[in-house]
Structures are given as structure tokens and as C-alpha cells.
Amino acid sequence: MTMVRRLFDWKVRGVRWVEIFGLLCVAAMLLSVYLTKASAARETSRIAQLEREIDQSSLRVRMLRAEVARLESPARLEALSRQAGLAPIGEDAPEAPVAAPAGEDVTPVPAEADAAPADVAEGAQ
């Protein structure tokens, strides 16, 4: 017990070492709180910057989608095809021949072979 008492009574230049240790602990806590708050402020500004970038990107995405919708508009495409002298192909127009890849023998399949007979299709139902 006297050892503990002597430890608490030990003085450095007139100040007990326990008080010095307490002040150092308080200073360390103040420094850690300051550093934590500074770090939180940096993170907050970074988050705000990222949110602004997200808003700008979403605005750009909306603008691009609107432009795609305008460019894919059937009325616009029809007007452009008429300006270029193109017209829709009618059912009476002949089919354009398709070139086979080099070295392959491709025989055309008649259109009647693709269609199923009416009585077979009715029987499957």
C-alpha cells in the first residue's frame, strides 16, 4: 500500500506524475477527435462530389435516351428513307439472291416446305 501511495505522490518538477499522465491522455483524446472530425469532413465533401457526378450522369443518360428515341422514331426513319429514294418492299417484289459463303454448298429450301400443312397443325391442337 505504501508503494502505491508513494507512486501517486511522486512529483516531477512540483507536479504529480498522475496529473501529467491524465493531461497527456486528454491531449491524445483531443487529437484523435480532431483527426476523426477532419477525416469525416473530407469524406462528406467526397460524398457530395460523387452525388453531383451521379446527378450529372443521370441527366446525361436521360438526354441520351431521349436522343435515341428521337433517332429511332419511325416517322423520322420513313422521312429519311424517302429522301434517300428508298421505298418499302412490296409482297410482289422478287427476293434478292443471298450469296453463300465461299466453299459452302447451300441449296435453297422452298417456301412450301417451311409451312406446316393445315390438317397437321389442327390435329396438334
The pLDDT of residue 20: 84
Task: For the chain, give the secondary structure using H, E and C.
Answer: CHHHHHHHHCEECCEEHHHHHHHHHHHHHHHHHHHHHHHHHHHHHHHHHHHHHHHHHHHHHHHHHHHHHHHCCHHHHHHHHHHCCCCCCCCCCCCCCCCCCCCCCCCCCCHHHHCCCHHHHHHHC
Task: Name the residue with higher pLDDT: 43 or 8.
Answer: 43
The pLDDT of residue 30: 98
Task: Name the residue with higher pLDDT: 22 or 91.
Answer: 22
pLDDT tens string 40-69: 999 999 999 999 999 999 999 999 999 999
Residue 11 pairs with which residues in a beta bridge?
16
pLDDT tens string 81-103: 888 888 777 666 666 666 666 76
Confidence of residue 17 (pLDDT cuts 50, 70, 90): confident
The pLDDT of residue 56: 97
Position 27 pLDDT exceeds 90: yes
Task: Name the residue with higher pLDDT: 14 or 61.
Answer: 61
Tell me, yes or no, if the pTM score tops 0.85.
Answer: no
